[in-house]
């Protein structure tokens, strides 16, 4: 599949527990904020699928259905994802070309799943283009969940847009999407992660998930030998559902990175996968 266009925004400002996109208001609903901040002009002209990527939780304030009251708990409302996807869809020109839409909420590995689904749609000749969008604003719910799970990480805001087209020009190919069962939803083993390792000499770089947790570092250890290692979480934080494709956009934007890059990710709940990026 060919990358027609992409755009990304990541956090640049350190705040307690996360790295913020400073332009994001913490009180105003974020769906419309991301639409304004991204400033995209998406005009469809062929059968297209729209995949909206989400993380593990979304607050009522993120949907635009209500406003956050500072200092008060805002209940999580997962069904709000469909509202956010609808808000984005309304910004597309020639919406009649949208023949498929889906919401993908498999935490940090959601971007990998989106690429895998795009490949399936192309293989089935159901669409000619795929639009993938994801936005993540760190909320109190996000910080609370990781605290309750005992996972010490720095979170982060992030946004990405990617336009893919069915083409013999393979910027992205060979997506793998897998599931690993464990009693601990954040624990992966070397045996599971090694299912996505490349053939020796087949890649120049490996973009690891790089959670910084001891168990994940151990699980990813064998990937380090296959190419130069790329890690972005120390710079942008854990950006949840947008993680894999936000970091892919950062790879695309870096002119110093050329060649074949294995993009990997794994997420809370046992989902993991990879795809090959060529640039």
The string of DSSP letters for 161-195 reads EEEEE--SS-SEEEEEEEE---SSTT---HHHHGG
Q: Computed from CA positions of residues 4, 223, 110, 135, in that sequence, does the dihedral angle turn out positive or negative?
A: negative
- Decide whether 2-165 matches 172-278 in CATH topology: yes
Place of tokens 């605290």: 147
266 burial via Cβ count (<10 Å: 0-12, 13-18, 19+): buried
The mean pLDDT of the chain is 88
Strand order in the sheet with 205-207: 172-179, 271-278, 260-267, 205-207, 228-230
- The CATH number of domain 172-278, selected from 3.30.390.30, 1.10.1200.10, 1.10.1050.10, 3.40.47.10: 3.40.47.10
> In the chain, where are the structural domains located?
2-165, 172-278
pLDDT at 57: 52
Distance of alpha carbon 45 from alpha carbon 231, whole angstroms: 36
Kindly report the CATH class assigned to 2-165.
alpha beta
- Tens place of pLDDT per residue across the chain (279 aa): 999 999 999 999 999 999 999 999 887 767 888 999 999 999 999 999 999 998 765 444 455 545 555 555 444 444 578 888 999 999 999 999 999 999 998 888 999 999 999 999 999 999 999 999 999 988 887 888 778 777 788 999 999 999 999 999 999 999 999 998 888 777 889 999 999 999 888 999 999 998 767 777 888 999 999 999 999 999 999 998 999 999 999 999 999 999 999 999 998 788 999 999 999
Q: Is 114 helix (H, G, I), strand (E, B) or coil?
A: helix
Distance of alpha carbon 273 from alpha carbon 279, whole angstroms: 20
User: What is the value of pTM for the model shown?
Assistant: 0.90
């Amino acid at each position: 599949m060919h990358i027609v266009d992409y755009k990304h925004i990541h956090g640049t400002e350190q705040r307690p527990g996360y790295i913020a996109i400073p332009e994001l208001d913490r009180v105003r609903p974020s769906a419309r904020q991301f639409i304004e901040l991204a400033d995209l002009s998406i005009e469809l002209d062929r059968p297209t699928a729209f995949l909206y990527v989400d993380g593990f939780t979304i607050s009522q304030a993120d949907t635009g259905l209500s406003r956050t009251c500072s200092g008060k708990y805002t209940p999580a409302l997962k069904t709000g994802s469909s509202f956010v996807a609808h808000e984005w869809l309304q910004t597309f020109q020639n919406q009649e070309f949208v023949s498929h839409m889906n919401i993908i909420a498999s935490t940090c590995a959601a971007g990998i799943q989106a690429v895998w689904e795009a490949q399936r749609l192309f293989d089935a000749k159901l669409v000619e283009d795929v639009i993938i969008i994801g936005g993540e604003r760190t909320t109190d719910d996000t910080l609370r969940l990781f605290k309750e799970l005992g996972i010490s990480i720095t979170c982060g805001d992030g946004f990405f847009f990617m336009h893919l087209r069915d083409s013999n020009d393979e910027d992205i190919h060979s997506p793998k999407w897998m599931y690993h069962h464990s009693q601990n939803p954040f624990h992966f083993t070397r045996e599971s992660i090694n299912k996505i390792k490349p053939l020796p000499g087949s890649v120049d770089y490996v973009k690891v998930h790089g959670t910084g947790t001891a168990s994940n570092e151990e699980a990813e250890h064998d990937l380090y030998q296959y190419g130069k290692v790329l890690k972005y979480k120390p710079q942008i934080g854990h950006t949840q559902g947008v993680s894999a494709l936000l970091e892919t956009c950062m790879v695309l934007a870096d002119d110093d990175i050329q060649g074949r890059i294995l993009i990997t990710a794994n997420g809370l709940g046992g989902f993991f996968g990879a795809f090959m990026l060529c640039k």
